[in-house]
Amino acid sequence: MHAFSELIIGDVFLAPFISYAVTALVIILALRPILRLCRFDKLFSHPAVAELSLYVTILGLLTVAF
């Protein structure tokens, strides 16, 4: 078990999940140029579902790791 660190902005506590979700979104946006170079759109029949799965994976990894 590890303690979740809460984000505190001006005495307002934000749930750790929000910081994970936003960080995962930033990571996936930063990954987009690399995904394009890997021809990610051509690898899957439904690239949107694949991208969503990638987001969920990154979110899960962040939650487990931090």
Partner 1 sequence: MGAWAFGIRIWLAVVVALLASFWLELEAPSSAAVTVAILAVPTRGQALDKAVYRSIATLIGVTASLAITGIFSQTRDLLLAALAGWTGLCVYAAGLMDGTRAYAAVLSGYTVALIAIQQLDTPEHVFEGGMARGAAIAVGIVAIAIVNDVLAAPDNHPQLASRLAALHGRVRDYANAMFQDVASDTIAAAGLLRDIAALHPDLTSLASESANGTVRGAAARGTAVALVAAVSAARALKALPLTADTGMAARDLALRDAQVRDGLTALGTGTRPRRAWRTPLYRSHEIAAAAGIRAAACIALAAVFLVWAGWPTAEFSLSLVVVVIGLGATTPSPNGFTVIAFVVAPIAAALAGTLEFVVLNGVNEFALLALALAPFVIGTAVLSTRSNPVLASLGRLSLVFMLVIFAPSNPPAYDPQSFLFTSLFLCVGIALLLAAQMLIPTESSERRQNWILTSARRDFERVLSRRDRGLAPEEAMFRDATRIAQIPASATNPRDSAVLAEALSYFDRAAAIRLARAQEVVS
Q: At closest approach, how far in Å is the CB of 8 from partner 1?
A: 14
CA distance 63 to 50: 20
Q: At closest approach, how far in Å is the CB of 48 from partner 1?
A: 5
Judged by CB, which is closer to partner 1: 23, or 40? 40
Q: At closest approach, how far in Å is the CB of 44 from partner 1?
A: 11
DSSP H stretches of helix in the chain = 16-37, 40-43, 47-65
In the chain, the DSSP E strands lie at 7-9, 12-14
Interface ranges with partner 1 (CB under 8 A) = 12, 32, 35-36, 40-41, 46-49, 51-52
